[in-house]
Structure 1
Amino acid sequence: MRSFDLTPYRRSMVGFDRLFDLLENSARSAASGDNYPPFDLERLAEDRYRITLAVAGFRKNEIDITAQQNLLLVTGRKEAAQQDRSNFLHVGIANRSFERRFELADFVRVESANLADGLLTIELVREIPEAMKPQKIAIGATAQPAASNDTKTIEHSAAA
């Protein structure tokens, strides 16, 4: 994979440090090739997402999900192997611990997590605070929050 030098952009753009860091970290992690466990990322609606990880062989008590600001960390820790593996002719089922990190956008929170049939499903929802939503401003009046999601507009009433 090619690596891009983002230095010229860092010099001329203010406030995009986090974005550049994400791009550089993403390129490094893709080059490392560790893609265990495999996962799907779905967009269910404009503000709803689902992450599905294939965690066959893991129990609920062996998986930990931690949500921090802008980071979702999913770790799986296998208990010490209790079965005798000397009788296996081939071991193809992964039986190792893992750590998966997902960068979350602002105002995205974990709604729920479920484990069924070897698939860990994490439901995410983006909730923009009321103060951050677009609002209509009438000239000569104070700001009034509007229920619509339209862009910020200014109403102008013409004098007759």
Structure 2
Amino acid sequence: MRTTLDFSPLFRSGIGFDRVFDVLETASRVQPMDNWPPYDIIRVGEDAYRIVMAVAGFDRDELTLTDRPNLLVVSGAKRESEPDPDCLYLHKGIAERTFERRFELADHVKVANASLEKGLLTIDLQREIPEALKPRRIEIQGQGAGAAKAHAQIQAPKAA
């Protein structure tokens, strides 16, 4: 039994959280159990992640990575090739089917690089927070020099 979550009360009081609600809604929907190709998601640092996907039998030109805002799409499609007339498969266990795998990315997470080696597609991701959004230190002014200077400017000169 699956429980459906109603996010409408959150829409009444939350402003600017549309993306979070969309991600929660997408995650709560029943999706077909397609676990091919297998993959790992690894955290390799405070702001660095890695996706390793097993894509045995695929060449670089048969794989496509598309980096959209907050979404990474990895897809693969084998090229059509002429079957060898002298070759007859008795068992074919290596999957060569087309696939598309989507990964929701947090804000400011970008693809740093991707490589294919020994049948493993490795995608490195990096969170790059803009300087304007990073925490900054604010100097606290003392009451000493600044207050005395302002007080001196207010006083009128003494009459002799």
Length-normalised TM-score, structure 2: 0.78
Aligned-pair distance for 1:35?
Answer: 2.4
Partner of 1:122: 123
How many residue pairs get aligned? The number is 143
Length-normalised TM-score, structure 1: 0.78
Aligned-pair distance for 1:82?
Answer: 3.4
Mapping of residues 20-59 of structure 1, within 5 Å: 20-28=21-29, 31-59=31-59
- 2:77 paired with 1:92: no
Bigger relative CO (Cα 8 Å, ≥ 6 apart): 2
Which 10-residue stretch deviates more, 113-122 or 12-21? 12-21
Which 10-residue stretch deviates more, 45-54 or 73-82? 73-82
- 2:63 paired with 1:60: no
Mapping of residues 12-23 of structure 1, within 5 Å: 12-23=13-24
Q: Give the unaligned 5+ runs of structure 1.
A: 139-154
Distance in 2 between the 1:83 and 1:50 partners?
A: 36
Contact 2:62 2:76 in 1 (8 A): yes
Distance in 1 between the 2:67 and 2:137 partners?
A: 34
Secondary structure (helix, strand or coil) at the match of 1:25 reads helix
Partner of 1:145: none
Instruction: Output the aligned Cα RMSD.
Output: 2.2
Structure having the higher Rg: 2
Structure 1 residues 117 and 5, CA, compared in 2 at 3 Å: closer, same or farther?
same
Secondary structure (helix, strand or coil) at the match of 1:100 reads strand
Q: Give the unaligned 5+ runs of structure 2.
A: 146-160
Secondary structure (helix, strand or coil) at the match of 1:41 reads strand
Alignment identity in percent? 51
Amino acid at match of 1:159: G
Which stretches of structure 1, 4 residues or longer, exceed 4 Å deviation after superposition?
none
